[in-house]
Amino acid sequence: MILKPSTIITVASFLLACLSGCNDLPCADKPADRKVVAKSPAMEEASADLVIRNAKIVTIDKENPRAQAVAFRGERIIAVTSNADIERHIKGGHTEVIDAQGRLVVPGFNDAHIHFGFVDPDYIDLRYVRDPKIITEKVKDAVAKAQPGELIRGGRWEHEIFYDRQWPTKELIDSVSPSNPVVLSRADGHSDLVNSYVIRHSGITKDTRDPFGGEIQRDPVTGEPTGIFKETAKALLKYGDVRVRLSHEEQQERRMRGWQAAFDMARRCGVTSMQLPPGGDFEIYQTFKDMGKLTARVYIGGSFTTNRQQLRRYAELQKKYPRDGDWIRFGYLKGFIDGTLGSGTALFFDPYVDAPEKTGLPQMSYEELERRIVTLDKAGFQIGIHAIGDKANHWVLDAYEKAQRANGRRDSRHRIEHAQVLHDDDTPRFAVLGAVASMQPTHCITDKRFAKKRIGTERCQGAYAWRRLLDAGAAIAFGTDYAVEPIDPLEGLYATVTRKDRAGEPGEGWFPDQKLSMEKAIELYTLGSAYAEFTEDRKGKIKKGYLGDVVIFNNDLMTIPHDEIMSSKVDYTIVGGKVVYKRDRAN
């Protein structure tokens, strides 16, 4: 989105107005456990703007793993030390002090793989729906509020948690949406359910051929499309004219409110940095930054393309948002080589157990994958490829190896996004090639419901294999894949230390030999993610000289029972030495 100057002024005026109350932003009333200490001009050089003391600080700094207090000046940390030593930093005139009262303090969370953006209040959220009839009712309610022809969007449904575990069909929504296009995305975003309205408008019939890398799911008796479109088949869909009820100004205001809601959600969860695949809106982040309202640092990627015009644009973005920046930076180029386990489109060497005729859907040939990777590596870009199945991961590692042979080895930190199911022979290749495994631990506890059914026990031993990768010397970065999974890092931490479903099933967890300690899980979510974006020299640790991004929790995640992890709360989120979120203790 390109904002005109007049629009930016309108946006700025709107945000200043809607945020003037501040609520839990830095200008909120200071809580009881924060106070201002009188200024001492003689100690001006050593004084801090903000101090946290009486804390249990897990620094993720091997040279100083634990501390009681931390001091911030400007955006940086100036001391990580004891309660006694921190006193010399709180003799300045406007030093703000937070008494942590023994609470846990950790580095701010860095989500290494997140599809962050505008929160649409009209989007139909179907996460955790077990009864498909609820989908019908929610679509009916949305249609009642819409004009004929207006697009109805929703998603995050997961058929594997439906009572019947069957794929939904267009009949589920046709009767309540005769005059509106409806598209409901599966939780993984790789399959869409649409109604007959969309199928007709798209000119799709039982005779329409599947595109390369895609599948039109069909009724086994009639051959008619069921309403499920997978991977590249989604590009065949046309939704018709979308009638907009709002003026341009009203749309812009609604959009800005949606972005503010997204930032609010992130800071409530302690997310202080985010790494976005292609599609990130540099302009919107810059607008929030210019207004002093950007509360998370962003690393925004581009598309996995060798188009010269596009690469020239990326080169310009690299200059405008360079790697040595701290707030908005140009990131990696992301592509896809396969689909997902849940949609049955991830690429495997051997067939699916529950669909012996299928091995997955490659999104391009290996030759094309290799050509693009070698070209982009030579141009100096960081690359991240979505790979789920064992064959998909093998292909990407082969292509990275070919790029090193062709162009020479450098500190490229090429990534595999997800790296979910690995063949034993490929696990050590991550360390050998210097490739980063960008993984999302909640995928483990979501997908384990159906993983064995899809690919069998043997292949599951190489699934979400965090411990095996670490033991082989690989670099791992943790994230969420929001909005595929919830943005809250606590769910990922819970998944990493338990490998159990969210209800807390009995036993030791799913392939428990791959569990990690809480401290290691936090490290991969902070320092590990910082490494993946070339910022481990200034992020991911609570250390003198590092950026002042930290989180204070109400519970000690290091010691509480596992069943209390996800119910814990962020009490403070601090970004660049400023409190950007404070929880109301009554909630």
Both tokens of residue 48?
Answer: 């801090």
Show the 3-state SS of 18-42: HCCCCCCCCCCCCCCCEEEECCCHH
Total tally of structural domains belonging to the chain: 2
CATH number at residue 582: 2.30.40.10
Residue 42's pLDDT is what?
38
Both tokens of residue 351?
Answer: 């067939």
Q: Which residues pair with 314 in a beta bridge?
A: none
Residues 177 and 81 in one domain: no
Domain boundary residue, one of 218, 236, 254: 236
Is position 17 within any domain? no
Residues 201 and 135 in one domain: yes
Exposure b/e, 568-582, CB count within 10 A at least 16 = b: bebbbbbbbbbbbbb
Is position 389 within any domain? no
Residue 585's pLDDT is what?
74
Residue 62 DSSP class: T
Is position 220 within any domain? yes
Rounded Cα distance, 569 and 584, in Å: 10
CB of 169 closer than 8 Å to CB of 139? no
Average pLDDT of adjacent 10-residue blocks, the chain of 587 residues: 41 40 37 44 67 98 98 97 95 88 98 94 91 96 91 92 92 95 93 95 95 95 96 91 72 90 97 90 94 97 96 96 96 97 96 97 98 98 98 98 97 98 98 98 96 96 97 98 96 98 94 98 98 98 98 98 97 98 82
Rounded Cα distance, 6 and 531, in Å: 39
Q: Nearest to residue 315, comparing CAs of 365, 237, 380?
A: 380
Is position 497 within any domain? no
Residue 514 DSSP class: G
Residue 515 DSSP class: -
Residues 221 and 151 in one domain: yes
CATH number at residue 232: 3.10.310.70
Rounded Cα distance, 374 and 432, in Å: 18
Residue 92's pLDDT is what?
66
Is position 427 within any domain? no
Residues 99 and 128 in one domain: no
Rounded Cα distance, 349 and 210, in Å: 22
Give the H or E element holding residue 551. strand 550-553
Residues 102 and 148 in one domain: no
Residue 16's pLDDT is what?
39
Residues 207 and 173 in one domain: yes
Residue 26's pLDDT is what?
36
Domain boundary residue, one of 200, 218, 236: 236
Rounded Cα distance, 123 and 106, in Å: 34
The amino acid present at 480, given as its one-letter code, is T
* 364 phi/psi in degrees, rounded to 5: -165, 170
Residues 97 and 137 in one domain: no
Domain boundary residue, one of 213, 236, 259: 236
Residue 249's pLDDT is what?
87
Is position 575 within any domain? yes
Q: Nearest to residue 384, comparing CAs of 362, 400, 406?
A: 400
Residues 149 and 223 in one domain: yes
Sign for the pseudo-dihedral over CA of 524, 527, 530, 534: negative
Rounded Cα distance, 158 and 446, in Å: 10
Residues 92 and 131 in one domain: no
List the domain range (segments joined by +) for residue 579.
Answer: 31-108+541-587
